[in-house]
Amino acid sequence: MNTVNKPFIAKHPSVLKIPPLGMDAGGLEEDFCRYFNHTLGWDKAIVSSHHVYSSCALVLRDRLVERWRRTQRAYDESGCKQAYYLSLEFLMGRALGNALLNLELTGAGAEAMRNLGLDLEEVQELESDAGLGNGGLGRLAACFLDSCATLQLPVTGYGIRYEYGMFRQKIEQGRQVEEPDHWLRNGNPWEIERPEYAVRIKFGGRSDFYTDPDGDLRARWIDTQDVVAVPYDMPIPGYRNGTVNTLRLWKAAATEEFDLEEFNAGSYTEAVAAKNAAEHITMVLYPNDASENGKELRLRQQYFLASASLQDVLRQWVHKHGDDFSDFAEKSCFQLNDTHPTCAVPELMRLLMDEHGLGWDEAWHITAGTMAYTNHTLLPEALERWPVGMFGRLLPRLLDIIYEINARFTEEVSLRWPGDTDRQRRMSIIEEGDIPQIRMAYLAVVACHSVNGVAALHSELLQQHLFRDFFELWPGKFNNKTNGVTPRRWLASSNPLLSALIDRSIGEAWRTDLSALAALREFADDSEFRAEWRQIKQANKRRLADTVARDCGVEFDPAAMFDVQVKRIHEYKRQLLNVLHVIHLYDRIKRGDVADWTPRCVLIGGKAAPGYAMAKRIIRLVTAVAEVVNHDPATQGRLRLAFLPDYCVSAMEVICPAADLSEQISTAGKEASGTGNMKFMMNGAITIGTLDGANIEIREEVGEKNFFLFGLTAGQVEAARGSYDPASIVAADADLARVMHLLESGHFNLFEPGLFDPIVQSILSPNDPWLTAADFRGFVDAQRKVAEVYRDRERWTRMSILNSAASGKFSSDRTILDYNRDIWQLSQVPAHAE
């Protein structure tokens, strides 16, 4: 509640007194009709299906707002510690089904729609995904918000309200084509604009040093070109607990007087153009997953998010406590989702010193005490570095502060290791060279009191390699928080049939305590239960087969094994290895090696970064192989391959309940955690995977007999560098040699000679970092085992049930409880009762 409205409400408290909204079908129906007739669909000519959807959303939003206010009041009045999750990405997907589920309105909502002659499921399909993220990192942020609300933890998400989210992927002539995702075109009924909380963000200009009236040397940032950040709030409902948390997304807008100055100078059109330039900052999400691109606009986005969010938190603090920050660190915590929001470190220092008058030591104590950093990757191409020159032009005052942080840090290193100048250079936040760069990961490690990886292996490798020197200096900072996914979206909502069977068998507690799924273990030996389990999988497979038929024009037989790999297209994830296996199966069919064949439908989906040529070529290979395989009569009833366009959250909700086999085949040591692997496991898919990321923990939980393991270990991958000889691997393996021959001979690209030469070369290169050839034999053998087990339906079903039963650890509720226990230390605060 802002300060302008507070006195008004104090004088007129009755404006807040309205009876609670109806939570039955009748109440929903009545409100729907009112929205539809009065607000949105009043003119026959403008009635469109999206008004139906918008009316539904507004009916639910009202019910969320009631609970939202009570939650925020409870947080406010308890004076509790709060955490802020800073992320450039929130891959939320759709909100309507989630609101229905969490408000316990799915049944009443369906009934209300039926009474009006509408179908709730069709209405849900009208919502576009909020695709404000690339992949796992952004989806993790979304799952975390769901878990925090469900656990009644006072956590606010801060992000950017991109006008255009993740591009929509079309496939034309076998190639990826990107289309802009204007997800806000029809408005966003879930958001509430809060212009009263807009803040100014500075760019450019210079630092000015002056002596204040007390005789202290101070700095200020002047001659800046400012942009306004306007917040839009999205409600984040907890699961049936009356709690609604906030995701606050910032949109960039021009300042008013900026326009005026230009106008007075007589350049009206330039002023309007400048307005446009300001708004560019939040125009589009950068579509790069696990790689940085070094663009200045991206740095602007990062600083924009960090500054707006910190100013927002500090404004609320000052409103309550004035300029007394002595308790601030005890009451606040910022979690940085990767290095993307790391500008928050120097920005908090700047705000505390330049705007609130604190000294360096006091400001540093608060900054280090409140900031925590989550690392998401070891891949060198993903580690953010900003050229000092660019950074200093855009954010000169922040650069001063980073230099000072580095100077003090370097002194600490030299005291710990006197004379070790090599180590000082290695650990410096500034990387020297022709173009000196700021190493954002080092800045985050130096400033934050907690540094975590996202799976046990990943956290271990961080300590041994990327942050080795820092681990020696501060071993206590480093910890692991294995990722998780929310069982509400990824099981309860996406797989209603399986959820109902689980409810009937073991009760409903699993929705908020996923470890309760362990009770399913005893049902694995119950043949009637297994038959039901199988029937549900079949129904889910039919639903996916419909999608594949519609979007790919390929017929999948639900009786066949569904072998699925969906994730961003990246060489380290090795979609290529998957395709090599499909080519191998095709080759076996063509050679008549089909005794005891297990019919298999292979589904691959995912987006390639628009500038990532090799990833796009791999998509082209999948579609080319699919074309040949699917049209060869010999493969009929044995093998199908399809590339599913536009993989996104709502697609995954259809895919993961229908998969038999989950492909998690990254080069060991490269996938930080993976979360797709967890969604599949929960829904009873069995994993074929390497010892990478969270696969290791999945295998530990489910037992080695219920996991198809293959491939080199991270240690072996590391050791192979320098001695890797793929040509001799190919020569020694007749199956691989035939696959390579089919690729080289142009069998899949008769009309585009040379199309796949770069792919062949990458496999045959001794410098192939992904070691595709090295893992081919192990993968093919493991797949043979998969096929054999799948033919034993009872055995497969038992393994499927055991996978679901063992997935309890991979709830994001567990992950969030770990963050809270070790890093945030928040109390659970229930929302006020009505």
Active site residue ranges: 376, 567-568, 573, 675, 679
Q: Is the dihedral of CA 274, 278, 283, 288 positive or negative?
A: positive
Determine the Cα–Cα distance for residues 560 and 635; give it in Å rounded to an integer.
13
Question: Which of positions 57-86 make contact with ligand PLP (CB under 6 A)?
Answer: none
Residue 487 CB partners (closer than 8 Å, separation 6+)? 510, 511, 514, 682, 811, 813
Nearer to ligand PLP by Cβ, of 139 and 298: the residue is 139
Min CB(607)–ligand PLP separation in Å = 9
| Residue from the set 676, 689, 711, 726 that interacts with ligand PLP by CB under 6 A | 676
681 binds ligand PLP, rule: CB under 6 A: no
Q: Which residue is nearest to ligand PLP (CB)?
A: 676
Token pair 């995702």 is at which residue?
181
**Binder to ligand PLP among 455, 649, 672, 806 (CB under 6 A)?**
649
Alpha-carbon span 92 to 144, nearest angstrom: 11
The span from the CA of 767 to the CA of 55, in Å, is: 57
CB atoms within 10 A of CB 58: 18
Contacting ligand PLP (CB under 6 A), which of 109, 157, 396, 674? 674
* Cβ 713 vs Cβ 758: under 8 Å: no
Q: Which of 136, 242, 224, 233 is nearest to 458 (CA)?
A: 136
688 binds ligand PLP (CB under 6 A): no
Which residue number, 169 or 207, has a Cβ lying nearer to ligand PLP? 169
The CA-atom distances, in angstroms, between 812 and each of 490, 692, 746 are: 11, 19, 46
For 765, phi then psi, to 5°, come to: -80, 130
Select from 225-233, 372-380, 447-455, 645-653 the region that touches ligand PLP (CB under 6 A): 645-653
Count CA atoms within 13 Å of residue 516 on its CB side: 15
By DSSP bridging, strand 244-254 and strand 225-237 are: antiparallel
Would you call 745 exposed, middle or buried from its count of C-beta atoms within 10 A (0-12, 13-18, 19+)? exposed
Tell me the C-alpha distance between 826 and 726, whole Å.
Answer: 52
Q: Is 439 in the site for ligand PLP (CB under 6 A)?
A: no
In the complex, least distance from residue 402 CB atom to ligand PLP, rounded to whole angstroms: 32
Among 281, 652, 661, 780, binds ligand PLP (CB under 6 A): 652
Give helix 772-791 / helix 793-805 axis angle, nearest 10°.
110
Is there binding between residue 615 and ligand PLP (CB under 6 A)? no
Which CB, 573 or 620, lies closer to ligand PLP? 573
675 near ligand PLP (CB under 6 A): yes
> Which part of the chain contacts ligand PLP (CB under 6 A), choosing from 36-44, 185-193, 226-234, 674-682?
674-682
Binding residue for ligand PLP, selected from 160, 648, 686, 691, defined by CB under 6 A: 648
> Residue 169 Cβ, how far from ligand PLP at the closest point, in Å?
12
Q: Which is nearer to ligand PLP, 61 or 581 (CB)?
A: 581
Is residue 341 part of the contact set for ligand PLP (CB under 6 A)? no
Site for ligand PLP in 553-592 (CB under 6 A): 567-568
Torsion angle of the four alpha carbons 684, 675, 672, 247, in this order, in degrees rounded to the nearest 10: -160
* Segment near ligand PLP (CB under 6 A); pick from 30-38, 247-255, 272-280, 672-680: 672-680
Point out which span in 63-71, 344-352, 670-678, 821-829 binds ligand PLP (CB under 6 A): 670-678
Q: Is 136 in the site for ligand PLP (CB under 6 A)?
A: yes
- Smallest gap from residue 379 Cβ to ligand PLP (A): 13
Beta carbon nearer to ligand PLP, 406 or 483: 483
Give the binding range for ligand PLP (CB under 6 A) out of 102-110, 132-140, 168-176, 795-803: 132-140
Identify the CA nearest to 804 among candidates 602, 689, 657, 694.
657
In this complex, which beta carbon is closest to ligand PLP, that of residue 41 or of residue 605?
605
Closest C-alpha to 639, from 650, 624, 625: 625
C-alpha gyration radius of the chain = 28
Q: Give the list of residues 6+ apart from residue 468 with CB closer than 8 angstroms, or none.
A: none
SS3 call for 562: strand
487 makes contact with ligand PLP (CB under 6 A): no
Which residue stretch of 134-142, 307-315, 330-338, 591-599 sits at the interface with ligand PLP (rule: CB under 6 A)? 134-142
Cα separation, 119 vs 647, in Å, equals: 25
Contact mark string toward ligand PLP, 90..129, x via CB under 6 A: ----------------------------------------
The nearest distance, CB 770 to ligand PLP, in angstroms, is: 15
Least distance to ligand PLP from the beta carbon of 648, Å? 5
Identity of the residue, 238 or 606, whose beta carbon is nearer to ligand PLP in the bound complex:
606
Number of residues that bind ligand PLP (CB under 6 A): 12
Selected range binding ligand PLP among 25-33, 131-139, 313-321, 767-775, rule: CB under 6 A? 131-139
Query: Looking at this protein, which amino acid is placed at residue 403?
Result: Y
478 in Cβ contact with 463 (< 8 Å) = yes
Please, what is the minimum distance in Å from the beta carbon of residue 673 to ligand PLP? 7
Contact between 135 and ligand PLP by CB under 6 A: the answer reads: yes
Considering only the stretches 238-246, 280-288, 648-656, 757-765, report the one whose residues sit in contact with ligand PLP under the rule CB under 6 A.
648-656
Q: Strands, E, within 102-243: which ranges? A: 130-132, 155-160, 165-172, 175-181, 192-193, 199-203, 206-211, 217-222, 225-237
Residue written as tokens 């994001």?
Answer: 812
605 interacts with ligand PLP by CB under 6 A: no
Q: Edge-to-edge, what's the strand order for the sheet holding 686-689?
A: 639-644, 600-605, 561-566, 661-664, 686-689, 708-709
Site string for ligand PLP, 138-157 (x = CB under 6 A): -x------------------
Which residues would be at the binding site for ligand PLP (CB under 6 A)? Answer: 135-136, 139, 567-568, 648-649, 652, 674-676, 679
